[in-house]
Structure 1
Amino acid sequence: MARSLFVLLLTVVFAFALHAQTNAYVPNQNSGTVSVINTATNTVTATITVGSSPDGVVASPDGSRVYVSNFGNGTVSVIDTASNTVVATIVTGGAPANLTITPDGTTLYVPDEFGNSVFVVDTASNTVTGSVVVGFGPLSASVLPNGTRAYVGNFFDGTISVIDTATNTVIASIAATTFPTLMHVTPDGTRLYVTDEFLNSVVAIDTATNTVVATISIGGEEVFGLAPTRDNKKIYVGTFGSNTVSIIDRATNNVVPPLITVGTNPVGMEFTPDGKFLYVANFGDNTVSVISIATNGVVATIPVGGGPLGLDITDLTVPFRRFDIDALVTTHQEFIEVGSFTLGNLSKGIDPVHTPVKVTVGTFSLTIPAGKFLKIDGTPNYIFQGAIHGMNVLFILTGDPAARSFAYFVDVHGPDLTTQPNPVNAGLTIGNNAGTDTVRHF
């Protein structure tokens, strides 16, 4: 059956797409709000009330949710990006700081700065499922692109805790610098860069060996936020006390010109998905500076709320223009699904190699993490075959990049979906593209 269904798939083609809307989300610590910036117009399009003293922010990989840690009242606010409203509040307790999310979007790691631990949050249920004891004063966290390790900077003891995300245990402690402040793993996953607020430096850590390979003096006063470029070539670093952004050349680990003047007290920063612009939250003057990477100059200054601290940027979830499940066959130990879809007009397209793919059938969901799919040489087709959470999965995506429609085949051994409602709501999410359908299963 699987072979014949795959043959049918080869007759279906798929699509290019236009530009999706991209938003920056900026927590304003003094206002208890999050400013939403449309990066196409550089205007604030919404202001969302969250918890007390919002600090860190991270978007889900599919762009459907934004998570904001509220340092002042021990919570994490969950924002639905489609409506820009808070749809859930996760009670963590403690003092949640700069949080991070796994590439498959299933788990948040939330440092508790005063509790010397990291909360582990299940995003499906929006509940704390455990905690991991780390060093003294965990302030920030970052996850490898393959999702296997989470790094946590412990501000008061100068160490970086390395967490195995499969077991949620600390497997290494890196003596990194005196006051690890904020951190960011590079897109290629080979380096972790960590700022030191008081030594005015950045350390580079080799993630394969968990050793410090460079300490880079930035100069200025209070080196704070940082962001790697999408092409892995440079690191942009903000200096809180000097109101500037410096640039590190990754090839040499040297600071290179120019020195870019931004607003007062730059902290959080992030690049747009296309890598062309860097957005910098300026805590001291309640603005966001927009830097063009082509010129390394500020091209816009956007007023936001009081005390902008963190910043993250995401492409919003774009619904498929058409999504059809052509067949859904369930047994007690397997299900097979065949479907097709057309991208929405605002979609930037799909990239299964570098984005997570999620399949849902009723209450069941399965996420294939980013980096698992392979592109079949010489074709526009993609395939994943392997184990996910003990289930054997085959997922085939076929198409033609000159057209506008996709087709897929998925075969999963392990789950029993015969108890799901009939008909059942089922869905597919690839990156920030998503769709649902109601279908009978047999």
Structure 2
Amino acid sequence: MRVKETIFFLGGILLITLVLVDVFKIKRPLSFTRSEAAGVKETATPADGVKSPATIPAINIYANANTGMFSDATKGALPRVYVPNSGDGTVSVIDPSTYKVVDTFKTGTLPQHVVPSYDLKTLWVLNNESNTVTPINPATAKPGKAIHVTDPYNLYFTPDGQFAIVVCEAHRQLEFHDPHTMKLVEIMPVKCKGLNHMDFTQDNRYGVVTCEFSGQLMKFDVVKHKVIGYLSLGTRKTSMPQDIRLSPDGLTFYVADMLRDGVVLIDAGNFREIGFIPTGIGTHAVYPSRDGKYFYVSNRGCHHLNCPPHGPGNITVIDPKTQTIATTWPIPGGGSPDMGNVNGNGTELWLSGRYDSEVYVFNTANGALTHRIKVGDGPHGLTVWPQPGQFSLGHTGNMR
């Protein structure tokens, strides 16, 4: 009996020990390593109204767009940077190996963005006032024949690739088109003003669009093509939301607000404002690092259009895991950083200088501005190509 009792006693101790080990394993926070390609100094500016997140799910929605993860669809694409010059209706083509403009071609009036197609085989130039889109063949870096599309300010794609979504800013509507032929399929009118940029929830069911001229966000059903609701971020005089990007963990939308001078944090599930991170003057765009550990936020240096050159623009690097500012990159002599993207290996951030007729190249390891490349008038939504990822959700390369 004593032997059996001893066995039961020891077994009980072992069971309790295993349970305690499991409990502590569950409660131990996930560990994350710092990126070596972020040019980060250890500063911590927490988001207003946001508590430090608890255990963050070990996911990264940008995992398939990490360094070197190129799709077979991009094989044969010439390494180029395409810069739409809104002021003179051209696209400047830059060779990233020499940092020199190797070609310039006409497209249409007021080209706004250069957008990779969902299947990664075409780059679309959005000629806003010409009501056309111009296809570029990435294998030749040459434009094709323009196609009629109404008011193409921006362009996105449904996550299943079934539709191209044309953001018609002036017409206050989203248009659903065939993603290959650009034939119009359906029109979805909206009530907010100044439709601008877009991103999608992690489950791909809903899209959220910024409305810059009414200080709102609009949420819509991607499947039913119906507006779900609107969220006010302020008045037209206090809020001007621009770019929007979902956090790597899929929980929070980061909205660049040009009048509030920072990034508004939106609960992706409940569609409500949960915090704010002050960044700089004229906050404009948000781009993830290739490993998804940082957001590069461009601060354009002014609050309106037609600003003077050499403004107080800069780049804020945000850690989305902690929702804090990691560091800020200055632009020596001033500048107006706008739209762009990170190169394929994650070592450079390319951005247009909207009011300085130039393109900026930043070293992501230390934040240094390594190149200023002269281009045409009013450069806007440039794209670096090719980029890693299996498909594009639109804009200058929202890759997944």
TM over 0.5, shorter chain:
yes
- How far off its partner does 1:55 sit? 0.9
CA contact (8 A) 1:103 1:145 kept: no
1:99 aligns with 2:169: no
1:204 aligns with 2:204: no
Structure 1, residues 85-126: CA drift from partner, whole Å, max 9, x if none? Answer: 3324332323x3232234555432222222211122212222
* In structure 2, C-alpha distance between the alignment counterparts of 1:62 and 1:146, rounded to whole Å: 20
State the match for 2:167 in structure 1: 111
State the match for 2:128 in structure 1: 71
- How far off its partner does 1:43 sit? 2.5
Hey, which bits of structure 1, 4+ residues long, moved more than 6 A?
Answer: 16-20
Q: Which runs of 5+ in 1 are unaligned?
A: 1-15, 317-347, 349-353, 358-369, 372-442
State the match for 1:325 in structure 2: none
Q: TM-score, normalised by structure 2?
A: 0.69
Q: Which runs of 5+ in 2 are unaligned?
A: 1-70, 302-311, 393-398
Q: Which has the higher contact order (CA 8 A, sep 6+)?
A: 2
Change (3 A) 1:22 1:208: farther
State the match for 2:386 in structure 1: 315
- How far off its partner does 1:268 sit? 0.6
- How far off its partner does 1:20 sit? 6.9
Q: TM-score, normalised by structure 1?
A: 0.63
* In structure 2, C-alpha distance between the alignment counterparts of 1:19 and 1:70, rounded to whole Å: 26
Structure 1, residues 39-96: CA drift from partner, whole Å, max 9, x if none? Answer: 23323233232110111221124432111222222222222222333324332323x3
Please state which structure has a larger fraction of its residues in strand. 1
CA contact (8 A) 2:78 2:139 kept: no
- How far off its partner does 1:203 sit? 0.9
Change (3 A) 1:88 1:302: same
1:226 aligns with 2:253: no
Change (3 A) 1:217 1:22: same
CA contact (8 A) 2:77 2:138 kept: no
State the match for 2:218 in structure 1: 161
- How far off its partner does 1:28 sit? 0.6
State the match for 1:340 in structure 2: none
* In structure 1, C-alpha distance between the alignment counterparts of 2:218 and 2:382, rounded to whole Å: 23
CA contact (8 A) 2:120 2:391 kept: no
Change (3 A) 1:224 1:76: same
Could you say what secondary structure the match of 1:99 adopts?
Answer: strand
- How far off its partner does 1:145 sit? 6.7
Q: 57-66 vs 195-204, which deviates more?
A: 57-66
State the match for 2:246 in structure 1: 185
State the match for 1:260 in structure 2: 330
Could you say what secondary structure the match of 1:171 adopts?
Answer: strand
- How far off its partner does 1:251 sit? 2.6
Give, as a single letter, the amino acid of the residue that structure 1 aligns with 2:260: L
138, 141, 144: which is aligned to 2:198?
A: 141
* In structure 2, C-alpha distance between the alignment counterparts of 1:194 and 1:172, rounded to whole Å: 17
1:33 aligns with 2:90: yes
Change (3 A) 1:187 1:291: same
Change (3 A) 1:187 1:28: farther
Q: 53-62 vs 195-204, which deviates more?
A: 53-62
294, 299, 302: which is aligned to 1:239?
A: 299
CA contact (8 A) 1:142 1:185 kept: yes
For this pair of structures, how many residues does the alignment match? 306
Structure 1, residues 13-58: CA drift from partner, whole Å, max 9, x if none? Answer: xxx9999753222111012111222323323233232110111221
Could you say what secondary structure the match of 2:144 adopts?
Answer: strand
Superposed, which structure 2 residues align to 1:294-313 within 5 Å? Answer: 294-313=365-384
State the match for 2:115 in structure 1: 58
* In structure 2, C-alpha distance between the alignment counterparts of 1:246 and 1:66, rounded to whole Å: 28
321, 328, 347: which is aligned to 1:251?
A: 321
- How far off its partner does 1:159 sit? 1.7
Change (3 A) 1:21 1:76: closer
- How far off its partner does 1:128 sit? 2.0
State the match for 1:130 in structure 2: 186
Change (3 A) 1:87 1:144: farther
State the match for 2:36 in structure 1: none
Change (3 A) 1:269 1:198: same
Change (3 A) 1:233 1:206: farther
* In structure 2, C-alpha distance between the alignment counterparts of 1:244 and 1:85, rounded to whole Å: 32
CA contact (8 A) 1:152 1:161 kept: yes
State the match for 1:362 in structure 2: none
* In structure 2, C-alpha distance between the alignment counterparts of 1:283 and 1:187, rounded to whole Å: 28
Could you say what secondary structure the match of 1:294 adopts?
Answer: coil
- How far off its partner does 1:302 sit? 1.8
208, 212, 215: which is aligned to 2:276?
A: 215
| Percent sequence identity over aligned pairs | 27
CA contact (8 A) 2:216 2:230 kept: yes
CA contact (8 A) 1:21 1:40 kept: no
CA contact (8 A) 1:97 1:139 kept: yes
* In structure 2, C-alpha distance between the alignment counterparts of 1:51 and 1:142, rounded to whole Å: 26
* In structure 1, C-alpha distance between the alignment counterparts of 2:220 and 2:135, rounded to whole Å: 24
Please state which structure has a larger fraction of its residues in helix. 2
